[in-house]
Structure 1
């Protein structure tokens, strides 16, 4: 079982499967409220194939590749090898379709891909908000306020982001962190 960097409220690390399950639930729950129609099947397939690739290629936290182009390139190379392996293992048009969905998710140009990406980031922050502060790395304090770049295309996702960010802000403030400074650092 592939584990993620995120920690659960009970103190154990989150698995990729747990992340994917909650992400799929979030997608189903928010779909009726989105201002644009979304292809649910496509959205869910994108979410699942994105995380299946991460399970094969190893899940690398965003903060490890944020300012490291070498790590980002290696992650991308490993993920491409993983999606090619999945496509080739299936060996038919279904394998090719999953391959195409993965690239669509990565490209973040279609509405479904943008929604899937936004929810992926939001779920990770929810997980942080639920976990103990001792599991947060300093960079994650700042990342609490960096979600807008993933949600700004959609008012409903922005509203959800604001609620999740507010919860993170309250958690940081309660732990004695200078929230005002953290917000300024993300700008």
Structure 2
């Protein structure tokens, strides 16, 4: 193998920087009550896309998975902002873009450019892959909220409207959403204690 040693070093440096996502905590908690990391959310988002991939044959599955892998990469430096704390007109998007560009520059070359291009495509939300990635991202979040060991005052009602515009444009996303919304309603009414066992 005649790998360019400098290219290998850049890739490893990129991976060292991306490791920060293991320590970026989200507001969601696991079934054991520990706050989840952005890296954990991304892992299950990719797993979700994989297990439903046969139901979306019309898309480029590798591109969709890559998009899901990098969708929250911009949180490596500035962290996650919970949906309940996000406000229109904030500079959050610009900060994430700047940080994705920084990571793309660390890697450099075609891969670095691909990372930035995939993030921009995801952000724009205009391609089939981007729309699905955004929809699955919302579904993974509310799925976690149905099984997390949430505080007694957890706002389940918020989840019933969270991301509806992202999950309503594809039949598969709508079908999954309907199941998760039913589970969310059950949790809010205290009828899903078996899920907490």
**Alpha-carbon distance in 2 for matches of 1:40, 1:93:** 20
What's the secondary structure of 1:170's corresponding residue? helix
Alignment check: 8 A CA contact 1:46 1:113 kept:
yes
Is the counterpart of residue 16 in structure 1 residue 38 in structure 2?
yes
**Alpha-carbon distance in 1 for matches of 2:36, 2:175:** 25
Q: Could you list the per-position Cα deviations for residues 104-129 of structure 1 after superposition, in whole angstroms to 9, with x for gaps in the alignment?
A: 11111000001110111010101111
1:103 to 97, 104, 120: 120
What's the secondary structure of 1:27's corresponding residue? helix
Residues 88/133 of structure 1: CA separation in 2 closer, same or farther (3 Å cut): closer
Is the counterpart of residue 62 in structure 1 residue 83 in structure 2?
yes
The Cα shift of 1:91 comes to 1.8
**Corresponding residue for 1:185?**
none
Alignment check: 8 A CA contact 1:86 1:95 kept:
yes
2:51 to 29, 53, 63: 29
- How many aligned residue pairs are there? 169
1:143 to 155, 159, 164: 159
Q: Report which of the two structures shows the higher radius of gyration computed on alpha carbons.
A: 2
Residues 136/13 of structure 1: CA separation in 2 closer, same or farther (3 Å cut): farther
The Cα shift of 1:74 comes to 2.2
With structure 2 as the length reference, what TM-score do the two structures score?
0.80
What's the secondary structure of 2:71's corresponding residue? helix
1:155 to 171, 185, 196: 171
Runs of 5+ consecutive residues of structure 2 not aligned to the other structure: 1-22, 192-197
Greater fraction of residues in helix: 1
**Alpha-carbon distance in 1 for matches of 2:153, 2:97:** 29
Root mean square deviation, CA, Å = 1.7
Runs of 5+ consecutive residues of structure 1 not aligned to the other structure: 176-187
